[in-house]
A and B are shown apart, each in its own frame.
Chain A
């Protein structure tokens, strides 16, 4: 059976609930960089109604997909928004959002980051991630296609270089759903 793109909805909701509970506030601010139709945060807002007020700022690249979202390139919005106003930055990407994570780090963001990172069909990892793992430009130019194995270790090392010291979530073959914060 083919699975829908949100077939890991349950796992994604579990880690978001954990983060909401960890924050422990009655009102939280969330920015989602890949909003889609805000399915997850819609479910969570209903679920936490009366206990936690969730203020959501949604960003979606595709016009017309989510009428409540800001439409455009999330990198531009990240540069223009003070992320530290938000308790959670939700980076539910289809791919590996290394540029977004670097931009979040550049703001010295102190809150929680929830990440979906999925290696593509060909498994190639972003240059940022490989260089954070010690590869050089010269190596990548010659053999970029072969750095496709052990993706989770590369992602873990990349997160470490950004200042994360632990990640918690679900880790499957080439699909990683986790949350963390930059501690350093």
Chain B
């Protein structure tokens, strides 16, 4: 049976070599997720209480007012599932949690190549490419000369019209829209509530 204890969330130490620099937008999304939906997926810490994965989650959780962390001790031979007893997956909240969990991971990922490279140099047998992370070449001399482009800026002359109409008129409006679409430079986006 796994050992369990509850700690102050701030007792967990951040990884000073965190490979994920994170993004401002990702951090905003995480804080929104914690504030609106509460905590979901667990984070991972080492035997000393140092965060292996979830450094940004700890920060976002603190920002969202979460004060405690429940620690489950394992040795990697079992999976730890967090059960939200207040959530049904097939509810708005459940689906939002599922979306937020995936979306924040994508948006908040920004590899810190300096940390990756420094740990790779320090630790024999650690190679980021084993997990598909390709370090950039920090050599300041470009291997092939890339040429920047110059773009002249001009005053723009574009008019915007937002059309809103009763759905009964849809066929007639779309006929007119299709005719307008043929005009060069015309941009048309449609959407419905």
Which A positions have Cβ atoms within 8 angstroms of B?
1-7, 9-11, 13-15, 18, 36-37, 39, 43-44, 46-47, 61-62, 64-65, 94-95, 120-121, 133-136, 138-139, 142-143, 145-147, 149-150, 153, 156-157, 159-160, 164-171, 178
B98 within 8 A of partner (CB):
no
Question: Which of B36-44, B64-72, B106-114, B172-180 contacts its partner?
Answer: B106-114
Q: Are A4 and B136 also in contact (CB < 8 A) when A10-B142, A160-B156 are?
A: yes
**With A and B bound together, what is the CA distance between A62 and B14 in angstroms?**
13
User: Interface of B with A (CB < 8 Å)?
Assistant: 14, 16, 21-25, 103, 106-107, 110-114, 116, 129, 132-138, 140, 142, 146, 148-156, 158-160, 162, 164, 187, 189, 191
| Minimum CB–CB distance for B75 against chain A, Å | 29
- Residues B156 and A166 in contact, CB atoms below 8 Å apart: no
Contact assessment for A9 and B136 in the assembled complex, using a CB-CB cutoff below 8 Å = yes
The answer on a CB contact under 8 Å between B25 and A146 is no
- Report the separation of the CA atoms of residues A133 and B135 in the bound assembly, to the nearest whole angstrom: 38
Contact B162 A169 (CB under 8 A): no
Q: Which of A2, A166, A168 contacts B134 (CB 8 A)?
A: A2
Contact B134 A95 (CB under 8 A): no
Closest 4 CB pairs of A and B: A4-B111, A5-B110, A4-B113, A1-B134
Q: Which residues of A contact B16 (CB under 8 A)?
A: 64
19 residue pairs A–B, Cβ–Cβ below 8 Å: A1-B132, A4-B113, A4-B133, A4-B135, A5-B110, A10-B137, A10-B146, A15-B148, A37-B114, A61-B24, A134-B158, A134-B160, A135-B160, A143-B191, A145-B191, A156-B151, A157-B153, A168-B151, A170-B146
Contact of A5 among B111, B138, B140, B153 (CB under 8 A): B111
Query: In the complex the two chains form, what is the Cα distance from A13 to B140 in whole Å?
Result: 8
Contact of B189 among A7, A143, A171 (CB under 8 A): A143
Q: Check if A14 sits within 8 Å of B133, measured CB to CB.
A: no
| Contact between chains at A133 and B116 (CB < 8 Å) | no
Shortest A74–chain B CB gap in Å is 11
Report Cα–Cα, A94/B109, bound state, in Å.
11
